Amino acid sequence: MAPDPVPTPVPASASAQLHQPRYFTWEEVAQRSGREKERWLVIDRKVYNISDFTRRHPGGSRVISHYAGQDATDPFVAFHINKGLVRKYMNSLLIGELAPEQPSFEPTKNKELTDEFRELRATVERLGLMKANHLFFLLYLLHILLLDVAAWLTLWIFGTSLVPFFLCAVLLSIVQAQAGWLQHDFGHLSVFGTSTWNHLLHHFVIGHLKHHAKPNCFRKDPDINMHPLFFALGKVLSVELGKQKKKHMPYNHQHKYFFLIGPPALLPLYFQWYIFYFVVQRKKWVDLAWMLSFYARVFFTYMPLLGLKGLLGLFFIVRFLESNWFVWVTQMNHIPMHIDYDQNVDWVSTQLQATCNVHQSAFNDWFSGHLNFQIEHHLFPTMPRHNYHKVAPLVQSLCAKYGIKYKSKPLLSAFADIVYSLKESGQLWLDAYLHQ
pLDDT band at 267 (very low <50, low <70, confident <90, very high): confident
Sign of CA dihedral 372, 373, 379, 385: negative
**236, burial (CB in 10 Å: exposed 0-12, middle 13-18, buried 19+):** middle
71-124: pLDDT as tens digits: 999 999 999 888 888 888 888 999 999 999 999 989 999 999 999 999 999 999
Model pLDDT, residue 61? 80
- Tell me the average pLDDT across 24-48: 91
pLDDT digits (tens, 9 = 90+) for 121-171: 999 999 999 999 999 999 999 999 999 999 999 999 999 999 999 999 999
To the nearest whole number, what is the mean pLDDT of the chain?
87
- At residue 32, the 3 state secondary structure works out as coil
Percent residues over pLDDT 90 in the chain: 64
**Residue-level pLDDT at 98:** 96
Start-to-end CA span in the chain (Å): 40
What percent of the chain stands above pLDDT 70? 88
Rounded CA-CA distance 73/15 in Å is 21
pLDDT at 218 over 60: no
Give the pLDDT confidence of 356-367 residue by residue, as tens digits: 999 999 999 999
Most confident of 29-43, 176-190, 352-366: 352-366
The residues that bridge with 98 in the sheet, in sequence order, are 24
Contact 348, 404 (CB under 8 A): yes
State whether CATH 1.10.10.10 applies to domain 23-108.
no
pLDDT of residue 278: 78
- Cβ contact 207:287 at 8 Å: yes
For residues 283 and 238, what is the distance between their CA atoms, to the nearest angstrom?
A: 37
What pLDDT, on the 0 to 100 scale, is given for residue 203? 62
Other CB atoms within 10 Å distance of the CB of residue 292: 13
Question: CATH 3.10.120.10: which residues of the chain?
Answer: 23-108
Predicted local distance difference test score (pLDDT) of residue 165: 98
pLDDT digits (tens, 9 = 90+) for 270-308: 777 777 887 788 788 888 888 888 899 999 999 999 999
